[in-house]
Structures are given as structure tokens and as C-alpha cells.
Amino acid sequence: MATITSPDGTALSPLCFGTMQFGGRADEGESRAMFDACRARGLNFFDTAHVYTDGESERLLGRFAGAERARLVIATKAAYGGGAGRRNILSSLDDSRRRLDMEVIDILYLHRWDGDTPLEESFETLAELRQAGTIRHIAVSNFAAWQVMKAQAVAARFDVRIDMIQPMYSLVKRQAEVEILPMAADAGIAVAPYSPLGGGLLSGKYAAGGTGRLTEDDRYAARYGESWMHDTARALSALADDVGHHPATLAVAWCAAHPAVTAPIVSARSAAQLAPSLDALDLTLDADLMARLSALSPRPAPATDRLEEVTPR
Ligand SMILES: NC(=O)c1ccc[n+]([C@@H]2O[C@H](COP(=O)([O-])OP(=O)(O)OC[C@H]3O[C@@H](n4cnc5c(N)ncnc54)[C@H](OP(=O)(O)O)[C@@H]3O)[C@@H](O)[C@H]2O)c1
């Protein structure tokens, strides 16, 4: 496995902070407070994307991170829109470097699979950027396992490799357990899963009548629209009461505990919201609590569909 460190050689922190709300639901003051809270708890790994908040996410992250750039790992993403062709990757990365005010990006993801562009074109471009030192690591997000391995084979032809993936993964989104996480462990690819709280569902607030992204954003309402997911969230809140932790702390710790996971990407719209997710840094789940948490949602069927051969998580 390629070891990912900051430019000064510091290992990745066990949580990453995602800046998707910077300049959107979090104004500059709240964004700064969250960045500072992350630094105070030792986080050195920050995630953004070209597409977030019309560039404000990258601009604010660059402003906060600039003074200690060498100690941080900065990941951004290209080609959410416009395809993973050469011209789009290069112009998107130019924008990102200018907004972040950084010469070098530590991790550049392809934001999603693009079945219309030959992988050779995308990975030849990424290899050039890597060889020029403009990016330090190549990564992909929202790829199926077969897509990662197909891309990895193409990358090898250009003497580079995919060092990290970013799948969705939480107690209510467990598909990654079937193929993606075992693949990553086997292939020595680091994993930074996103949405460990299910976009806020696992914070417990919806069961208490609260509002947030799931009531404000139709895409997220649909993504987390199945009634069993809300049952899981309610059961998590009850378990959290029982064991004396915030449900968000348990949800993040559960995600982090998967052996293939490198660093879940936590996020929030305020420092107050973020605190219970950061508390997962101090929580090690014992086998009993791990089993109780895993039992709160259906385990996805194994890739072979041979249920009798499954070993419990
Ligand atoms: N690669 C991709 O396609 C992709 C997709 C999504 C995210 N990401 C990355 O992953 C990061 C994290 O994703 P995410 O924001 O979906 O993570 P998440 O942890 O599942 O959800 C975070 C959201 O939950 C709510 N929340 C958090 N703590 C709370 C608390 N204590 N009480 C009540 N509500 C709380 C807030 O939303 P509200 O207050 O608005 O309800 C917050 O913005 C993003 O910033 C981004 O960097 C990547």
C-alpha cells in the first residue's frame, strides 16, 4: 500500500474533515470554527471538491490551511460534471489549485465514473500530473469495485496507481462491505468513506422531529428515503442513550472500525454539530458494542449470495 502522508511526512489522522458545507450551509465564521476544532483534535486530512459551493469550499479551505500547508493532506476532486477527459481534468485542477492557492494537491480524485471517456485518456492525464509533481496521489470516488480494478489496470500501464478510494459507507449504506472494502484491503488501497452519519440521519435529530439536509434536499431525502433506514436511526438513538454516547459518535466509530477503512470523512454545518463526530476519536468499540451496532441494520448479501457462508461483522 502506498503510504499517504502530509508533505512534511506526518501520517494521516484517523478522521478526515469534509468541507462540502464551507461557504454554503456554513458561513466563513462557522467554517473557520470547524477547521480550528479539527486541528485542535489532531486532524490533518481535509476533503473538498471542484464542484462544492461554486468554489467557495476550496477558497475557504485554502485560506484556513495555507499557513500550515506542509502539515496537512489536502484532497480535492475533478470531473463530477464535464466528464473525465483530459481537458476537463486539467482545467478543473487549475481552478482548484488557484482557489486553494496551492501548487501541489496531495490527493486528486476522479469524482465519479465516466463510462463515456476511455480510462486511458483519464489515467494518462493523471499520470502526467503525478509525474510532474502537481498531484501526489491519484484516487477515485463513487466507483464500483470492478471499475476501480479496471482503472487500476489501466493506471499500471502508465506507471501509476490508485492509492485511495472514497465510497459512501455508514450503518444505513452498507453496500461497500460486499465488494469495495474487501477489494481495497486486498489491493492495498486506502479508503476514506463519506457520509458516515447518512447525511445527518444517524445524528438522531429526525426521530426527534428535527430538520436538516434530509428535509431540505430532495436528493438526500431520496437517498435515505427507505423506512428501515429511519428505523435504524431510531434504534441507534435508543442504543446511544443506553450506553451513554451521542448517536453520531457511535455511527462514526462504527464506520471507522471496519478494518479496511483508513479515515471516515466527517462533516457538519457548525462546530457544535461537529463535536460528537470528533468524539469518535476517543471511542474504541468493544466486540459486544460493535455487534449491537452492526445488528441495527441489514447486512448486505455476500457477492456470491451464499448466505450460509457469511461470517458476521
Ligand atoms: N465523493 C462524494 O461524492 C461525496 C458525497 C458526499 C460527501 N462527500 C464528502 O464527505 C464529507 C462528509 O459527508 P456528509 O456531510 O454527507 O457526512 P455526514 O456525517 O453523513 O453528514 C453530515 C451532516 O449531518 C448533519 N449533522 C452532523 N452532525 C450533526 C449533529 N450533531 N446534529 C444534527 N445534525 C448533524 C449536518 O447536516 P444538516 O445540519 O444540514 O442536517 C451535517 O452537514 C463531505 O463534506 C464531503 O467532503 C463526498
Percentage of the chain with pLDDT > 90?
96
Confidence of residue 309 (pLDDT cuts 50, 70, 90): confident
Is the minimum distance from the CB of 205 to ligand 1 under 6 angstroms? yes
Tell me, in angstroms, the distance from the centre of ligand 1 to residue 196's CA: 8
At what angle are helices 28-40 and 56-65 packed, to 10 degrees?
A: 50
Is the minimum distance from the CB of 273 to ligand 1 under 6 angstroms? yes
- What the chain holds in terms of domains, given with CATH numbers, is 16-166 (3.20.20.100)
Q: What is the per-residue pLDDT across 93-130, written as a single tens digit (0 to 9) for each?
A: 999 999 999 999 999 999 999 999 999 999 999 999 99
SS3 41: coil
Confidence of residue 241 (pLDDT cuts 50, 70, 90): very high
pLDDT exceeds cutoff 70 at 281: yes
Q: Which of 40, 45, 43, 42 is nearest to 4 (CA)?
A: 45
Percentage of the chain with pLDDT > 70?
99
Q: Strands of 135-141's sheet, edge to edge?
A: 190-191, 162-166, 135-141, 105-110, 73-78, 45-47, 16-18, 265-266
pLDDT for residue 208: 87
Please tell me the pTM assigned to this model.
0.98
The sign of the CA dihedral 88, 196, 18, 145 is negative
pLDDT for residue 230: 97
pLDDT exceeds cutoff 80 at 80: yes
Going through the chain in order, the beta strands assigned E by DSSP cover: 16-18, 45-47, 73-78, 105-110, 135-141, 162-166, 190-191, 265-266
Strand partners, 77: 109
Is the minimum distance from the CB of 127 to ligand 1 under 6 angstroms? no
Confidence of residue 2 (pLDDT cuts 50, 70, 90): confident
How far is 78 from 76, CA to CA, in rounded Å? 7
pLDDT for residue 177: 97
How far is 180 from 19, CA to CA, in rounded Å? 24
Tell me, in angstroms, the distance from the centre of ligand 1 to residue 116's CA: 30
pLDDT for residue 85: 98
Is the minimum distance from the CB of 266 to ligand 1 under 6 angstroms? yes
What is the atom index within ligand 1 of the atom nearest the CA of 216? 40
Residue 244 neighbours by CB under 8 Å, 6+ apart: none
Is the minimum distance from the CB of 196 to ligand 1 under 6 angstroms? yes
In the block, residue with C-alpha cell 506526518: 10
Residue type, 174: R
Q: Containing H/E element for 40?
A: helix 28-40
What is the atom index within ligand 1 of the atom nearest the CA of 251? 19
52 included as an active-site residue: yes
**The Cα angle at residue 90 between residues 56 and 66, in degrees rounded to 5:** 40
Which whole number is the average pLDDT over 17-39?
98
If you average pLDDT over every residue of the chain, what do you get? 97
Residue type, 70: A
